Amino acid sequence: MSANTTSAKHAATPIGATVDEQVLVLDFGSQTAQLIARRVRENNVFCQLVRHDLPASRIRQIAPKGLILSGSPSSVYGKGSPQPDPEIFNLGIPILGICYGMQVTCHTQGGEVAPGQTREFGHAPCRVLSSSGLFDGVPQEFQVWMSHGDQVRDLPSDFEPIATTETCPHAAAKHRTKPIFGLQFHPEVTHTEHGGQLLSNFVKKVCGCRGSWRISDFIESEITGIRQRVGNNRVICGLSGGVDSSVVAALLAKSIGDQASCIFVDNGLLRLGEAEEVRDRFSQHFKTDLHVVDARQRFLDELAGVKDPQQKRKIIGRVFIEVFRHEAKSIPNAKFLAQGTLYPDVIESGGSPDGPAATIKTHHNVGGLPDELGFELIEPLRDLFKDEVRQMGLELGLPEHLIWRHPFPGPGLAVRCLGEITDKKLTTLRQADAIVIEELHRAGLYRQVQQAFAVLLPVQSVGVMGDDRTYEDAVAVRAVQTDDFMTADWFHLPYDVLQRISTRITNSVRGVNRVVYDISSKPPSTIEWE
C-alpha cells in the first residue's frame, strides 16, 4: 500500500545530500545499469544512476569521485544514439566505460568503433596485458562475459590496450595520462570472473574512495533529516506489514516518536496471523500511534461476485483509498505522508531530476492516494536497494522473519483466490498457505526460494477420504527462484518436502482433497496467478 509519487507534493532529495563520497553511473540504457550501482555499493561506496547526458557542469556541482558509463543496446553510429557531454572527459574525474560506455568514450576521443568480425555473446577467455591499477590482484587470464556487436577497432592515440581476447584485441584500454578506462566486457555480472574485484579496484584504487558509506550512518542522517523537515507536525505512514513500509514505520518511530501515526487497513486479504503481528509489533514494540481500521467486511462486500482479476484490483485500490482517506482525516496536524519508495522505483518512474530520463513504469507505491489529501511526501528509502532496506530494518530492530519475508501482492490473497472471493475460501487459502511456508522453513529452504505461496483454484475434483467419496477444492503450490523478479524459474522442491506439504494440506485443511505443483517459468507465465 502506498501513495502515488505523482499525486502529492514531493521535494526531491539532491544527489549526494547524505554522503561525502560517491560514484555516478551514467545510464545509456543498459539492462544491467542498476546492477553496476549495486556492485559499487557492495564496496561501501554510495552510487546512483544519472542521465547519460547529464551536463559536465552539473557533475562538477555533485563532485563525484568517479563516473561509470554503462552499456547500451545502441550503436555509437546509430541515429539518435545516446551521447554523453564530451566535457566530462575534461573534468579530471576518473571514468570507467563498460561495453557501449567504452565504445562511446573511444569514439568521443578520436578512436574508431565498428562492427566486430564476430558478435560476442557469452563467456570469453580474457588475457591481461597490464596488471597495474584496474587489474590489480586479477589473474593474467580469466573468463569474462561479452554482450556486444560493435567493438573498438582503433584506439584513440592517447589510449593503450590493457587486456585482450581472441576476437577482441581491445577488450580493455586506458588513457596514457588520464584516469580514463574502458572494458568491452561486463564486470557487473556474475558470469565475469573477478568482476567485483575490477569494480572495487576502480572505486578504491583509481577513484580513491575510502568505502566509508554505512547503513548505520544513513539511518542517523535520515533521522536528523526527518526531524528537521517535520518540525512539530505529524506524519502519517501507510503500514501494510510488508518489509518496506515496516522499515519506514520503524525509522519514523526512532526519529519523531509519537509524532508519527501509522494507518493499518485490515482488508481481510492478509496471510494467517499477519494483522495480529502488525498490531503487536508496532503498538507494543515500537510504541507507535497505530490506527487499525477493520475494513474486512467492507472489502468482502465490494468484492462479492467479482471474478475478473483486474476488476478485483481496481475495487481493492478504490476501497483502500476511501478507507485510508477517512481515517487520515481523524489525525490532526498531519502534514506529511511517509511511504516506502525504493531506489529502483525512483529510477523506473523517472522520479529523480538527474536520473535516467526514460520512464519504464508509473510508480504507485502505496495505492494512489489522491491530490486532495494535500500531503507532502517523505520517502526515506528512496536511495536504497531492497537488500539495503533489509539491512536497515535489522539495524532498527525489526525481526528477521519479517525482514526476509517473501513479497506479497498489494491486493493480497484476492489474486491467489481465483474466481469469486468468499470468507470461507480465504480461510481455506490462509491455512494452506501457512503450511507451505512452515514446511519451507522446516526444510531450511525459505531463504533459497524468493517467493512461495498457495493458490486456491476454482476447480473441484473427485477424491477418497476413508470410505467416502469427496468432491472438493484443489490447491496449487508455487515456488520460484529469481534474481530480479522480471524473469523467474520454478524452484525444484525436493519430493519429500512436496509430499509433506500435500499430506498436511489434504489432512488438515477442510475442503481440499488435491494439491498440485506449478512448474511454469516466467515468461511465459507470471509469478502470481492473477
> What's the residue count for the chain?
530
Cell of 368: 494512489
Bridge partners of residue 98, in order along the sequence: 183
CB-based contacts of 262, cutoff 8 Å, min separation 6? 236, 237, 238, 239, 249, 252, 282, 288, 289, 290, 291
What DSSP line would sit under 59-124, residue for residue?
Answer: HHHH--SEEEE---SS-TTSTT-----GGGGGS---EEEETHHHHHHHHHTT-EEEEEEEEEEEEE
Cell of 356: 535516467
| Active-site entry in 21, 47, 99, 207 | 99
Question: Known catalytic residue: 530?
Answer: no
Left (φ > 0), alpha (ψ -120 to 50) or beta: where does 78 sit? beta
Give the whole-angstrom CA distance, residue 492 versus residue 494: 6
CB-based contacts of 468, cutoff 8 Å, min separation 6? none
Give the whole-angstrom CA distance, residue 130 versus residue 152: 18
Give the whole-angstrom CA distance, residue 101 versus residue 30: 10
Which has the closest alpha carbon to 269: 299, 248, 249? 299
| Active-site entry in 186, 194, 363, 364 | 186
Q: Give just the sign of the alpha carbon dihedral 402, 406, 411, 415.
A: negative
Cell of 500: 509433506
3-state SS of the chain: helix, strand, coil percent to 5?
A: 35, 25, 40
- Quick check: 435 and 508 in contact, CB under 8 A? yes
Locate cell 539495524: which residue?
395
Question: Known catalytic residue: 188?
Answer: yes
Run of H or E including 159: strand 159-165
| Active-site entry in 21, 188, 222, 530 | 188
Question: Known catalytic residue: 186?
Answer: yes
Q: Which residues of 312-351 are buried (b: 16+ CB within 10 A; e: fewer)?
A: bbebbbebbbebbeebbeeeeebbbbbbbbbbbbbbbbbb
State phi, psi for 140 to the nearest 5 degrees.
-65, -30
Locate cell 590496450: which residue?
161
Give the whole-angstrom CA distance, residue 138 versus residue 202: 13
Q: Give just the sign of the alpha carbon dihedral 204, 208, 209, 211.
A: positive
Cell of 465: 477420504
Cell of 292: 487499525
Left (φ > 0), alpha (ψ -120 to 50) or beta: where does 387 sit? alpha
The burial class, CB within 10 Å (0-12 / 13-18 / 19+), for 114 is middle
Catalytic sites, residue numbers: 99, 186, 188
